[in-house]
């Protein structure tokens, strides 16, 4: 069930989100002014229950229309939070009441889906993002509470964006500051742990344009879920790569006493602030950013297939849909124009889906950039990544690396217009979107 405003007797909201400009201290020396949810960065964690309807009031106190997208939720297009699907914008200075029934369970998020249109003070360049955690109703054992001793939500964000020339000759966005949970490294309370404790990390990359790599020196991450969906193989890795809008649920066993930095693998990003201190009980001293054994930058790798079925299963698709990503140069002083199958949104016709059928989506990235490809209101199952077969990895965002092809199966089971796009804000703004429409 999902409704927009217009009830004769609207229900009492379970949550209220106020969108407004705030001044936020990333550190004692760095303040920013940006739009945020309910006066904090990131927005408060919304804890919902799978299958239990929720009503959320959204108040827009900005001087421009806004819209909130419930990323990862299988909800109808009129409340999903994308105007391209038919969700209405929330006019400046007004409010709306959104009702939907959360599903699926897992780690998701809510964020603005307004176009920035090259304005670096809008869209995901602002602080409009927060964690949406949907607890499983019937099967709370998806992440067995017995498996962990404490749970930490980790939200990665980049701040103070500016345009700069990229090495490939096109304009790109870069940043001067970064944060975890709204604070720069060294300016938040540490995550306090005890030896032997198992800490469940719920990690979200809410950056507008940058993928990130997370490392906790000397520790390994046992990956339990990607984009909120449990993975068949809970592989342990030294480093997490989190593409834009991706979520990773990972368990860390605290077995290296000390004071550490859980932060970006790249020092330059840590220096900008992307890190948080992990402090073992009884330990003190300067937080350590690395130790022998920490993977070297040039050896950072990420393989989705490591989390798939040990023996990949095969499915025969009913339909194959090629989706070719290309760009068009528009000058060294302009952002590239992006195209899917040669068309920039809103040009081109919607891509048709057939209810109940298995669609093999073939993401062919012919550009020189990596792209976090997101499908609204559905999940897709990875079939192959750069030629390597897999199965059982269900996601709503996948990083398609430059020059590579990723295949994914989509079973069309949630009728209604569905937006498909690169989650990188400047790419979205430059046409990297398409609409899927049920035939």
Partner 1 sequence: MLDRLSRLDCLQNQRSAVFKAFASIVAIFALCAFAVAARAQGNYEIQVYGSDTVPPRTTMLELHSNFTANGQRYYIDGQAPTYHAQHETVEITQGINNWSEVGFYIFTSEQSGLGAQWVGDHIRPRVRVPESWRWPVGVSLSTEIGYQRALFSNDTWTWEIRPIIDKASGRWYWAINPAFERTWHGPDVDLGIGFSPAAKISYDFTKQISGGFEYYADYGSITNIASLHDQQQELFPVIDLNVSPKWEINFGVGIGPTAATDHWIVKGIIGRRFDWPKKNN
Binding site residues, partner 1, CB under 8 A: 120, 160, 162-172, 174-176, 210-211, 265-269, 271-272, 289-290, 294, 296-297, 329-334, 368, 370, 402
Least Å from the CB of residue 11 to partner 1: 44
Least Å from the CB of residue 198 to partner 1: 26
The SS3 assignment for 266 reads: coil
Least Å from the CB of residue 145 to partner 1: 34
Least Å from the CB of residue 189 to partner 1: 24
Phi, psi torsion values for 95, nearest 5 degrees: -135, 165
| C-beta closer to partner 1: residue 60 or 170 | 170
- Determine if residue 282 is left, alpha or beta; phi over 0 gives left, psi from -120 to 50 gives alpha, anything else beta: left
Tokens standing for residue 276 = 């948080």
Least Å from the CB of residue 61 to partner 1: 25
Least Å from the CB of residue 170 to partner 1: 8
| C-beta closer to partner 1: residue 227 or 369 | 369
The whole-angstrom separation of Cα 29 and Cα 328 is: 40
| C-beta closer to partner 1: residue 111 or 270 | 270
| C-beta closer to partner 1: residue 269 or 338 | 269
Contacts of 90 (CB under 8 A, 6+ apart): 19, 58, 60, 65, 66, 67, 68, 96
Contacts of 141 (CB under 8 A, 6+ apart): none
The whole-angstrom separation of Cα 115 and Cα 157 is: 18
Least Å from the CB of residue 413 to partner 1: 34
For residue 102, the tally of other CB atoms under 10 A from its CB is: 25
Asked whether the beta carbons of 65 and 35 are under 8 A apart, the reply is: no
Compute the C-alpha angle 102/72/154, nearest 5°. Answer: 100
**Paired residues of 48 in beta bridges:** 134
| C-beta closer to partner 1: residue 104 or 123 | 123
| C-beta closer to partner 1: residue 251 or 422 | 422
| C-beta closer to partner 1: residue 15 or 163 | 163
The SS3 assignment for 120 reads: coil
| C-beta closer to partner 1: residue 65 or 218 | 218
Q: Where are the beta strands (DSSP E) in 101-147?
A: 106-112, 129-135
Phi, psi torsion values for 267, nearest 5 degrees: -55, -35
Contacts of 189 (CB under 8 A, 6+ apart): none
Least Å from the CB of residue 372 to partner 1: 12
């Amino acid at each position: 069930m999902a409704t927009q405003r217009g009830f004769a007797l609207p229900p009492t909201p379970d949550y209220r989100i106020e969108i407004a400009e705030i001044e936020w201290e990333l550190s004692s020396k760095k303040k920013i002014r940006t739009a945020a949810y309910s006066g904090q960065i990131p927005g408060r964690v919304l804890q919902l229950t799978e299958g239990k309807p929720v009503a959320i009031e959204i108040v827009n106190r900005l001087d421009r229309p806004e819209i909130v997208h419930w990323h990862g939720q299988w909800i109808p297009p009129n409340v999903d939070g994308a105007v391209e699907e038919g969700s209405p914008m929330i006019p400046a200075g007004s409010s709306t009441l959104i009702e939907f029934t959360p599903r699926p369970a897992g780690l998701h998020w809510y964020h603005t889906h307004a176009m920035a249109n090259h304005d670096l003070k809008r869209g995901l360049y602002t602080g409009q993002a927060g964690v949406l955690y949907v607890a499983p109703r019937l099967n709370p054992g998806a992440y067995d509470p017995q498996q962990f001793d404490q749970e930490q939500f980790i939200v990665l964000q980049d701040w103070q964006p500016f345009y700069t020339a990229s090495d490939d000759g096109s304009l790109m966005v870069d940043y001067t500051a970064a944060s975890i949970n709204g604070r720069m490294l060294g300016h938040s309370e540490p995550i306090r742990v005890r030896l032997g404790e198992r800490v469940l990390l719920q990690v979200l990359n809410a950056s507008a344009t940058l993928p990130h790599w997370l490392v906790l020196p000397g520790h390994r991450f046992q990956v339990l879920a990607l984009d909120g969906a449990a993975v068949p193989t809970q592989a342990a890795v030294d480093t997490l790569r989190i593409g834009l809008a991706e979520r990773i649920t990972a368990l860390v066993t605290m077995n290296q006493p000390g004071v550490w930095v859980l932060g970006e693998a790249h020092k330059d990003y840590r220096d900008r602030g992307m890190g948080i201190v992990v402090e073992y009980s009884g330990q003190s001293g300067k937080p350590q950013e690395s130790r022998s054994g920490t993977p070297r930058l040039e050896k950072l790798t990420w393989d989705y297939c490591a989390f798939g079925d040990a023996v990949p299963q095969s499915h025969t698709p009913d339909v194959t849909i090629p989706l070719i990503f290309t760009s068009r140069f528009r000058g060294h002083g302009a952002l590239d124009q992006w195209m899917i199958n040669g068309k920039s949104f809103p040009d081109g016709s919607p891509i048709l889906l057939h209810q109940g059928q298995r669609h093999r989506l073939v993401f062919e990235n012919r550009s020189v950039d990596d792209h976090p490809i997101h499908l609204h209101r559905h999940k897709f199952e990875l079939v192959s990544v750069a030629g390597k077969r897999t199965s059982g990895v269900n996601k709503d965002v996948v990083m398609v690396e430059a020059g590579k092809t990723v295949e994914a199966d989509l079973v069309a089971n949630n009728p209604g217009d569905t937006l498909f796009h690169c989650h990188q804000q400047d790419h979205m703004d430059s046409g990297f979107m398409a609409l899927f429409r049920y035939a």
